Amino acid sequence: MTRCRHHTPREGRVSRYLKARLQRRLFVTFGITIMATVAMVAAAMSLLDGGWGASFRLEVRRVEALIDRQFAQVWGTPAARDGLARAVAEELDASVMLLDDREQTLVSHGPACGTRTYRVPVQSDGTALGSVVVCFHRFRHGGPFRVALVLGVIASVLWAASGLISRRLARPLLELSRVAREIGEGNLQSRVRLDRRAAGEVGVVGETLNDMAARIEKQLADQRELLAAVSHELRTPLSRIRLLTEMARDRGRGGEESEGVEIEGVEIEGETRPLRVPSSKLLDDLDREVMEIDALVGDLLASSRIDFNALTVTRVAPADAALRALERAGLDPSLLEVEEDTPPAMEVDATLLGRALANLIENARAHGGGVERLRVHARGETISFDVEDGGLGFSPGEEARVFEPFYRGGSASASEPRGALGLGLGLALCKRIAVAHGGRAFAENRAEGGARVGVEIRVRPPSSGGAPRERRSSHA
């Protein structure tokens, strides 16, 4: 059974992304935590340092004051002034240019300056002497930029590492989810495979899930084996009973028929008196009951074969299989209609196909007033076997329920004989046989009246790793 995950209309894409897998939720959570940590560290450093911008500007003002004092002392001595400018340029690895109070260049050391320059006015006793222009060729940004860059790199590395960590943490849970989903779909052989180092609660849950699957698998296997064994053992006494009824009937035909059997305590027209039933009628009733039980045992055996995936695939002619089903049911072969597009052969379990056709014919005879036509035709990659009857058809919504086990339809009543209704397993088995061969079962009302019930079987069964070895034959 396929399970789908549904989301409410109010959920957005981000919400669906976060709810999809634990690994992504952990990754996003780690990222938010790292970013919050980086922000708190930056805020703490800013508070301790009195503010990055204020600290940087304070350092610049100190350097400007130093340059102003040093150049003011030697500004009147050109040789000392030029030597100081050269020394500053070499020490700071920068270009230094001296301008007089009329913005004329006095001296320049180093290559031409770019756009990033610092201009320091030089004054002496309040009188402007000139200015010093300094530009750094390998300018180093201030503290805030360096710290932000370092924190950003650290945050990126931590977030990338958190992705690996979240994946490692979520991997055992994803394995548990996979096994639980496969067990829910019916694959009881699925087991949790975790790393030996995966200890703790996840390992305990994995072992518990494996033990549960093993116990369920064993219980179902025991039940199926018991069902198959009981069904097989019932066949022997049923065969003997049918043989005895035939012998008794033969003796009756030879003139040895008794007067019948007297049944005491039967109420007839308000009076209680004995009732004598002819032996031939008792034998007919007994034979009918035996045939019904035999059909039920056949259904149980077919069901157990499907449970064990014990399909014996052979090459079968669809037309021949349908014709044999009609003959075994004692119906006129002219009811068979095989369309021209029907493939000449198909690969199928002949026994299960015969059981499905027998159940479809019996359903039409018991509930639909008899078989009007058995139609065989191709439908895509499948071959469809349609049994049409002339009954009243299905009630609204009943088409899907007829394939449920033990469903006997709205016509079931206490006044109808048990043999006419059965236990409601025939069509359920037809559906299981069709699905086991990669097809489906269907039921619908006919436009001209009556119902159409059938199965679609793939021309070739779907490949399966657990399927038994195919046995090919040139005949059914």
Q: Which of 135, 169, 187 is the last residue of a domain?
A: 187
The answer to whether residues 292 and 347 belong to one domain is no
Distance CA 373, CA 332 (A): 10
Q: What is the CATH number for 224?
A: 1.10.287.130
Average pLDDT over residues 44-53: 60
Do 53 and 23 lie in a common domain?
yes
d(CA 69, CA 124): 9
User: In the block, which residue shows the tokens 């209309």?
Assistant: 9
pLDDT tens digits, 349-379: 998 999 999 999 999 998 888 999 999 999 9
Q: In which band, very low, low, confident or very high, does the pLDDT at 1 lie, cut at 50, 70 and 90?
A: very low
DSSP per-residue codes, 269-313: TTEEEEEEE-HHHHHHHHHHHHHHHHHHHHHHHHHHHHHTT---E
Residue 13 in this model has a pLDDT that exceeds 60? no
Go through 437-467 and write b for each residue having 16 or more CB atoms within 10 A of its CB, e for each that does not.
Answer: bbbbbbbebeeeebbbbbbbbbbebeeeeee
Q: How confident is the model at residue 225 (pLDDT cuts 50, 70, 90)?
A: confident
- Residue at 374 is within a domain: yes
> Does the residue 237 lie in any domain?
yes
Q: Are residues 171 and 237 in the same domain?
A: no
Q: What is the pLDDT of residues 121-138, one digit of tens each?
A: 888 888 888 888 888 766
The answer, yes or no, to whether residue 324 has pLDDT greater than 60, is: yes
Q: Supply the CATH number for residue 463's domain.
A: 3.30.565.10
Q: Does 367 lie in the same domain as 457?
A: yes
Residue 122: what pLDDT? Answer: 86
Number of compact structural domains in the chain: 3
In a domain, 402, yes or no: yes
Domain containing 245 equals 215-252+279-308
pLDDT of residue 50: 56
In a domain, 210, yes or no: no
Please tell me the predicted confidence (pLDDT) of residue 143: 54
Which bin fits 438, alpha (ψ -120 to 50), beta or left (φ > 0)?
left
Task: State whether 113 and 177 are in the same domain.
Answer: yes
Say if residue 325 is in the same domain as residue 242: no
Residues 431 and 340 both lie in one domain: yes
- 208 belongs to a structural domain: no
Domain assignment present for 122: yes
399 domain residue, yes or no:
yes
Q: What's the rounded mean pLDDT across residues 212-226?
A: 79
Whether 20 and 111 share a structural domain: yes
Q: What is the pLDDT of residues 328-342, one digit of tens each?
A: 999 999 999 999 999
* Domain contains 266: no
The phi, psi pair for 466, rounded to 5°, reads: -100, 5
pLDDT category at 467 given cuts 50, 70, 90 is: very low
459 and 405 assigned to the same domain: yes
pLDDT digits (tens, 9 = 90+) for 147-200: 677 777 887 887 777 777 777 777 777 788 888 888 888 788 888 887 766 556
Residue at which a domain ends, from 289, 308, 327: 308
How far CA 293 is from CA of 228, 236, 286, 289, 290, in Å, comes to: 15, 12, 11, 6, 5
- 171 and 287 assigned to the same domain: no
Residue type, 118: Y
| pLDDT at res. 435 | 92
In the prediction, which pLDDT does 476 show?
A: 37
Q: Is 133 in the same domain as 31?
A: yes
90 and 156 belong to one structural domain: yes
Q: Indicate which CATH number applies to the domain containing 123.
A: 3.30.450
Q: Which amino acid is at 202?
A: V
